[in-house]
């Protein structure tokens, strides 16, 4: 089996790894320079001097190219910073995400996420390679926080991930306000304390 694979793989001229990298780099550069829409396979080919055929041999369309470039470049980022408690690590990671979304990564996420609305294949790759792995990390951390007694044990984990992170994506896409550190603090604090007027403490004040 591996023999067959090797045999097939060895046939003919091997694909150039250099070209692979050059294409991915050029693709991301173009997206950031000119915007996702303007970028085309044609433009990538022109910028790199690589033939369109060579690009199409490896990816089905520009979204796939950009997606791979995006995943290649960003995967190592956004792990959770070290801290005393799991809850604190979550808070810090929300800041890291915000920081990233304010910069070039935000632009890429924006464009790719938008593009996934029109391309189910792309959506699946995005979900499996970007969204779900990151959610998994958050879920693990939330469970640790529960174990540590910081969070109520009866919370809905999936819903909680959404409560904490959805607003960050919302501002990225809707542009209703900046994804500032202050914003993250508000989100985190209100999620934790809850919005409800605390009857217990009102009573306290009355006392």
Closest approach, Cβ 107 to DNA, in A, equals 19
Token couple for 57: 């041999």
Neighbours of 159 (CB within 10 A): 10
Contact between 194 and DNA per CB under 7 A = no
Query: Token match 């540590």: residue?
Result: 148
Contact flags string 26-45 toward its own copies, x per CB under 8 A? ---------xxx--------
Token couple for 130: 């970007």
Token couple for 172: 């990225």
Q: Which 44-73 residues touch DNA, going by CB under 7 A?
A: 49-54, 56-58, 61-62
Contact between 127 and its own copies per CB under 8 A = yes
Closest CA to 65 of 131, 103, 73: 73
Show Cβ contacts of residue 183 under 8 Å, excluding neighbours closer than 6 positions. 98, 167, 171, 177
CA 180 to chain centre: 18
User: Which residues in this chain contact DNA in the complex, by CB under 7 A?
Assistant: 7-8, 10-16, 19, 38, 40-43, 49-54, 56-58, 61-62
User: Which residues in this chain contact its own copies in the complex, by CB under 8 A?
Assistant: 35-37, 110-111, 113-118, 123, 127, 131-132, 135, 149-153, 155-156, 158-160, 162-163, 165-167, 169-171, 173-177, 183, 186-187, 190-198, 200-201, 204-205, 207
């Amino acid at each position: 089996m591996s023999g067959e694979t090797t045999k097939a793989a060895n046939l003919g001229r091997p694909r150039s790894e250099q070209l692979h990298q050059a294409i991915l780099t050029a693709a991301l550069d173009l997206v950031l320079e000119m915007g996702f829409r303007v970028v085309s396979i044609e433009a990538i080919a022109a910028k790199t001097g690589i033939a369109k055929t060579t690009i199409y041999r490896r990816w089905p369309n520009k979204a796939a190219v950009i997606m791979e470039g995006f995943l290649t470049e960003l995967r190592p980022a956004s792990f959770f910073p070290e801290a005393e408690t799991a809850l604190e690590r979550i808070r810090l990671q929300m800041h890291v995400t915000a920081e990233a979304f304010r910069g070039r990564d935000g632009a890429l996420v924006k464009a790719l996420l938008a593009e996934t609305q029109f391309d189910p294949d792309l959506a699946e790759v995005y979900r499996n390679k970007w969204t779900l792995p990151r959610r998994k990390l958050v879920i693990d951390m939330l469970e640790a926080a529960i174990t540590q007694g910081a969070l109520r044990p009866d919370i809905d984990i999936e819903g909680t991930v959404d409560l904490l992170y959805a607003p960050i994506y919302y501002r990225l896409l809707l542009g209703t306000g900046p994804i500032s550190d202050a914003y993250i603090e508000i989100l985190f604090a209100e999620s934790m304390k809850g919005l409800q007027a605390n009857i217990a403490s009102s009573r306290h004040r009355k006392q």
